Structure 1
């Protein structure tokens, strides 16, 4: 049940927002083994003056921040990083222009429908 935010400079995605969301979702499914139907992805595009990446980065520099339940293994996280690089290369994002930040959130700190996630049956395994 990760919550994913994609941040980048405006203009280069064009009309491919749905494709970008689908690519990130495929990476999440492959990397951390979430169910395909489990999707929560947002794209935020900034005007050039409001998005200041390091000088060494290209025009498509992208930050992907994912909040997810604590419990994924280092190997699962490595799979996710590799899957994101693979999927996003189709959009012209070089591996060196992709930053991925994972926020491990204990289930008791995640509320869904007025309930703590620690009290819910998720329908998938977190410890992968």
Structure 2
């Protein structure tokens, strides 16, 4: 299971969110071996007065938060982060210096999904990749 949140300035995030969602999803599917139909993305376009960030970042600055069940290997998570930087830069021409990515891992028992806890679900993908 994974939930993705993306924050950025509305005038820069809104025009790219569909393409950005495709990039994020393709990276998650590739690296975490998720099924194609598992896409849970939320976009939070922010007004300039609500989104503060250092002057060393451009107006393309964004924060990507990824919430997942714990269990993936350190190398797998690092591979995902690097692939996201690479694909976003290549396909959207946004510099990695304007992207911050955080992966939040919690035990599956802390998730409530489809009337059950995450540790009681039968998943059609592996978590220990």
TM-score range, shorter chain: over 0.9
TM-score after normalising by structure 2: 0.93
Task: Go from structure 1 to structure 2 and tell me whether the alpha carbon gap of 1:6 and 1:108 turns closer, same or farther (over 3 Å shift).
Answer: same
Distance in 2 (CA, whole Å) between partners of 1:14 and 1:116 is 33
Structure 1 stretches lacking a partner, 5+ long: none
Distance in 2 (CA, whole Å) between partners of 1:72 and 1:106 is 11
Cα RMSD (Å): 1.2
Q: Is the Cα–Cα contact under 8 Å of residues 30 and 83 in structure 1 kept in the other structure?
A: no
Partner of 2:100: 99
Partner of 1:69: 69
TM-score after normalising by structure 1: 0.94
Q: Is the Cα–Cα contact under 8 Å of residues 7 and 62 in structure 1 kept in the other structure?
A: yes
Partner of 1:17: 17
Partner of 1:116: 117
Distance in 1 (CA, whole Å) between partners of 2:88 and 2:43 is 14
Counting only pairs closer than 5 Å after superposition, residues 14-93 of structure 1 correspond to structure 2 as 14-89=14-89, 90-93=91-94
Q: Is the Cα–Cα contact under 8 Å of residues 60 and 92 in structure 1 kept in the other structure?
A: no
Q: Name the structure where helix makes up a greater proportion of residues.
A: 2
CA deviation map 1:61-120 (0-9, x unaligned): 110001000001111111110111122112222111111111101000001111011111
Q: Is the Cα–Cα contact under 8 Å of residues 3 and 67 in structure 1 kept in the other structure?
A: yes
Structure 2 stretches lacking a partner, 5+ long: none
